[in-house]
Amino acid sequence: MGNLKFKEQLHEYAQWRGQLARSIEMYREWRRRYGMSDVHSTDTLLNILSGLDNDRITLAFAAEFSRGKTELINSLFFAETGIRLLPSSPGRTTMCPTEIFFDKKEGAYIRVLDISTRLEDLSLIEYKQMPKKWKHISLEGKSPTQMQEAFKHLVAVKTVPVDMADKLGLWNENEAAEQGLSNATEVEVPCWRHALISFPHPLLEEGLSILDTPGLNALGTEPELTLSMLPSAQAIIFVLAADTGVTKSDLEMWRNHICSARNNKQGLAVVMNKIDSMWDDLAGETGYENSIKKQISSSASILKLKESLIFPVSAKQALLAKVKKDNALLERSRLKGLEHYLSNDILKQRRKILMATILKDIGFLINESSSLTDSKLVNATKQLDEFRKVDFENKDMTDKLMSETRDRQKAYTSNVENFQASRRVFTVQAKILIESFAKEKIEIIIHETKGEMSKSLTTFGMKKSISKLFDDLRDLLQDSIDITNETRRLVKAIHKKFHDEYGFKEIEPKLFSIKQYQDDLETIFAEGEAFRSSAKTTMTEQSVVVNKLYSTLIAKARNILKQAYKDALTWSNGVLVPLMHQIKDHKKQIESRLQMLKKINDSKGSVSENIAHLRSELEPLKQQRKELAFIVKEMRIEAFQEKEKA
């Protein structure tokens, strides 16, 4: 059926991800087996493996009410249940943002967060770490009917006084006037602020996650959705109704929330739903096709999007077709075009992004392993060739070789002392760098800003506070830039010294960069200001929404600097490790050479026997290199890099 292609692609992606994880585990074991394992590399590899295990393909669906968004989700992913799993019938639309996934640890459930939590100064991310704050509803994963009944919680509403709705950020005077509700004393609001749904579905088990965001009001009053959750999705599907085209509220939602989450418009598509409303037997198939093309062209022009990224669909008919296994109706619903886009564009793009992230973390380790392995084999081969040419009957010559080797041993001791001295200098400098991102420094700045915000009841006052926060954080990063540059110069000097003076193989050190954190900080400030100035709910000076906005910005800024601290610490622990490995291998080479010369001088075994022993020692080194090549091949890194070049 129509969904089979997407299922196959997601299954293939999950298999690729599993194969990649297995090959990285093989590499971790390889490093351990050949004495290259260390705390830094082990932590790096374990973090990559954890990331792969928790990887999700998140598809976000956004639309104004009554666009058929939830029905589209049903038709795309849950048609095989044979029922309308998520509530999407008229008057039963999802009222709160909903995340759908599979939680391997906790199993099947619905968790809903009370709407009153909007009054508290905590983010959704923080609430997700507090399960007791959520209402928990168990799901029977093998009973679609029980799940369908449980999902009705998502559409629950309640009546509250207008002043409470105002405090919750769910009352707008202008909208109320337009709807003739200016004199209302009570208003209907959603019972829940956010919902988490976990159940065992094949697509969800293989890493699919769905974000269902209901309406402009939800996006306009939950900054976390626009500034965090939508941008982190692999794709955003924006749903319009074919019979109305792009309405005023559609356009506001598109400009203020969707496009801001996708500046480059990658991973962004539009579904023009309900094309069945345009079916017209009198106009005929030609008239129907022309009507669809006209709507696509008009919508593309208004949204400034390529026509190829607008997919005309009838989600209602697609769901019906899949349940009844009606291929003709499925073709007429045109769902396959959207499924093809998700399969061939979004999944491939996610693979590319994931591989690039992993290469950034693991590429240096693999290059180091390859370089050290090649270096050991080259040195062992040189020693074998040298010994083959030596006249071991000439005692003066062997004494000279012994003396030269002992001199190397002394030089090695000097190398170690110099390395330890260099490392002590680096440790002091690295500590200064790490402490420049210390949590205490950041929290002092954030605490002061929050105090100032709590005293201000106006958007202007809050904006002034947040501007000061970002100025202070910029100053903090500026101080870190100077420290970073000094630390980078020191690392380069240490590597150069050991290459120039002691002949160590040159391995380009991985240098710490602060630019990404600067860029991220500037981006969230710009996004936050765009949200503040454009969101219709903040136009009415509702402090609850503005406060949530700035709490979201503060949380994101805190996470960026927390990541900078973590990355600086990880980098400082690992940047000199390649030199340590080379020093250790250098010691082994000298000891092996001395042992061989001593055996020859003491006449313990013939020269030919000792030469044969040296030759046999090459085999494990060749095997070591062969295993590494196999592991790298299993990771498919080279194929990925070739695609990047193409």
Mean pLDDT (whole number) for 22-39? 91
pLDDT reported for residue 543: 61
Query: Cα 332 from chain centroid?
Result: 37
Helix (H, G, I), strand (E, B) or coil at 505: coil
Contact 232, 135 (CB under 8 A): no
Helix (H, G, I), strand (E, B) or coil at 317: helix
CA dist 428 and 424 (Å) reads 6
Structure confidence by residue, pLDDT tens digits, 613-639: 778 778 888 999 999 999 999 988 754
CB under 8 A, 24+ apart: contacts of 456-464? 457/543, 458/541, 458/543, 459/532, 459/538, 459/541, 459/543, 459/546, 462/543, 462/546, 462/547, 462/550, 463/529, 463/532
Contact 227, 237 (CB under 8 A): no
pLDDT reported for residue 624: 92
**What H or E segment, with its residue span, contains residue 110?**
strand 109-114
Structure confidence by residue, pLDDT tens digits, 522-570: 888 777 777 766 654 444 445 666 677 777 888 888 888 888 888 888 8
Helix (H, G, I), strand (E, B) or coil at 602: coil
CA dist 140 and 199 (Å) reads 8
pLDDT reported for residue 23: 95
Identify the burial level of 511 via C-beta atoms within 10 angstroms of its C-beta, where 0-12 means exposed, 13-18 middle and 19 or more buried.
middle
Amino acid at 107: G
CA dist 205 and 104 (Å) reads 8
Give every CB contact of residue 460 below 8 A, 6+ residues apart in sequence. Answer: none
CA dist 495 and 510 (Å) reads 11
CA dist 400 and 243 (Å) reads 94
Q: At what angle do helices 347-389 and 39-53 cross, to 10 degrees?
A: 150
Mean pLDDT (whole number) for 30-45? 88
Q: What are phi and psi of 144, to 5 degrees?
A: -55, -35
CA dist 446 and 319 (Å) reads 49
Which of these, 589, 630, 633, lies nearest to 30 by C-alpha position?
Answer: 630
pLDDT reported for residue 90: 56
Q: How many CB atoms lie within 10 A of CB 584?
A: 13
Mean pLDDT (whole number) for 52-81? 89
pLDDT-derived band at 281 (thresholds 50, 70, 90) equals low
pLDDT reported for residue 645: 45
Q: What are phi and psi of 208, to 5 degrees?
A: -75, 140
Give every CB contact of residue 227 below 8 A, 6+ residues apart in sequence. Answer: 261, 524, 527, 528, 531, 549, 552, 553, 556
Name the DSSP letter for residue 60. Answer: E
Helix (H, G, I), strand (E, B) or coil at 554: helix
**Planar angle of CA 520, 521, 524, nearest 5 degrees:** 85
Amino acid at 606: S
- Stated pTM of the model: 0.78
CA dist 637 and 449 (Å) reads 46
Q: 53-57, 72-76, 79-83, 291-295: lowest mean pLDDT where?
A: 79-83
- Which residue reads 């860029």 in tokens? 519
Which of these, 333, 363, 380, lies nearest to 618 by C-alpha position?
Answer: 380
pLDDT reported for residue 391: 64
CA dist 408 and 401 (Å) reads 10
Residue 176 has pLDDT above 80, yes or no: no
Most confident region among 89-98, 153-162, 417-426, 621-630 by mean pLDDT: 621-630
pLDDT reported for residue 426: 83
Most confident region among 39-53, 280-294, 479-493 by mean pLDDT: 39-53
Structure confidence by residue, pLDDT tens digits, 313-363: 999 999 999 999 999 999 999 999 999 998 888 888 888 888 888 888 888
Contact 436, 479 (CB under 8 A): yes
Residue of 630 and 147 predicted with greater confidence: 630
Give every CB contact of residue 37 below 8 A, 6+ residues apart in sequence. Answer: 28, 31
Residue 644 has pLDDT above 50, yes or no: no
Query: Maximum distance among all alpha carbons in the chain?
Result: 112
Q: 73-87, 272-286, 597-611: lowest mean pLDDT where?
A: 597-611
Please give the share of the chain, as a percent, with pLDDT higher than 90: 25
Structure confidence by residue, pLDDT tens digits, 412-461: 777 777 778 888 888 888 888 888 888 888 888 888 877 777 676 666 77
Beta-strand runs (E) in 142-204: 157-161, 186-190, 192-198
Using alpha carbons only, how large is the chain's radius of gyration in Å?
32
Which of these, 231, 215, 111, 122, lies nearest to 170 by C-alpha position?
Answer: 215
Cα separation values, 145 from 18, 149, 150, 617, Å:
33, 6, 9, 67
Q: 158-167, 229-238, 562-571, 631-640: lowest mean pLDDT where?
A: 631-640
Residue 306 has pLDDT above 50, yes or no: yes
pLDDT reported for residue 28: 95
Structure confidence by residue, pLDDT tens digits, 500-517: 766 666 666 677 888 888
pLDDT reported for residue 646: 40
**Planar angle of CA 153, 156, 160, nearest 5 degrees:** 145
